Structure 1
């Protein structure tokens, strides 16, 4: 059985030094803004805090409140609950894409870091009080 890496070990293992620097900055932002502990959720996702959820179908589980992943072509940030196409923060962020619950950026220099911090802060406020989500 392979031992799970710590977030710091994972970040240090990112081969592309520019991507590694971007991910280190995002990790620092999320930890500082949230005050939550980070842990690995699988091989490439760093998540902060956790909560349990249960759907009407009976499916349940546990997941992180906010997090990010270093993917092959982009960095995926899990900081959007239900993205609004008219969101003024997203409009002023810079070059990005949005999916259900996800924000995708290629590099940190493509976005305004202060706007990204505001998005993270909003996610912490929105997700911080959740103890269970039922949908």
Structure 2
């Protein structure tokens, strides 16, 4: 990711307000509150479409390194992407109770937050954020 975030949360709030898909916009507004409560951080826009909260530094064995949001989401056309940089596998037990979603290596894809257990999602994001911010 290694893109510098915007310097204020205005860009992130404007981005969410302008999301065309009504369910994605509604869900993004819900996630703004949820992620803010979990992280204690204000949202910032990373690149053109990732709403991030806090940041962490990563370094791969290859030597590549950079900064990325410690918690983040993106209201994509097909589904809401929720980034879990500590990996989906770290949350297998909770994911079994989450509800309707698909996933990639480090992302949850949720089409409608009304079809997931928000308390379970909160515990997943909280755990991922704690893991990433504990790395120094």
Structure of higher CA gyration radius? 1
Confirm or deny that 1:61 pairs with 2:66: yes
Structure 2 matches for 1:102-117, cutoff 5 A? 102-117=107-122
Structure 2 gaps, min length 5: 1-5
Aligned to 2:128: 123
RMSD of aligned alpha carbons: 1.9
Displacement, 1:85?
Answer: 8.5
Whether contact under 8 Å (2:56, 2:133) holds in the other structure is no
Matched, 1:40 2:45: yes
The CA deviation at 1:46 is 0.5
Between stretches 15-24 and 83-92, larger displacement belongs to: 83-92
Structure 1 residue ranges (4+ consecutive) displaced by more than 3 angstroms after TM superposition: none
Contact preservation (8 Å) 2:11, 2:45: yes
Paired with 1:62 and 1:81, the residues of 2 have a C-alpha distance of 14
Q: How far is the alpha carbon of 1:17 from its aligned partner? A: 2.3
Do the aligned residues in 1 keep the contact of 2:52 with 2:72 (CA within 8 Å)?
yes
Count, aligned residues: 128
Structure-1-length-normalised TM-score? 0.85
Instruction: Please list every run of 5 or more consecutive structure 1 residues that lacks an aligned counterpart in the other structure.
Output: none
1:74 is aligned to: 79
1:101 to 2:117 alignment = no
Alignment-derived partner of residue 89 in structure 1: 94
Q: Cα 1:37–1:130, aligned 2, differ >3 Å: closer, same or farther? A: farther
The answer to whether the 8 A contact 1:19-1:107 is kept is yes
Q: TM-score w.r.t. structure 2 length?
A: 0.85
- Aligned mates of 2:135, 2:58 — CA distance in 1: 9
Q: Between Structure 1 and Structure 2, which shows a larger proportion of helix residues?
A: 2
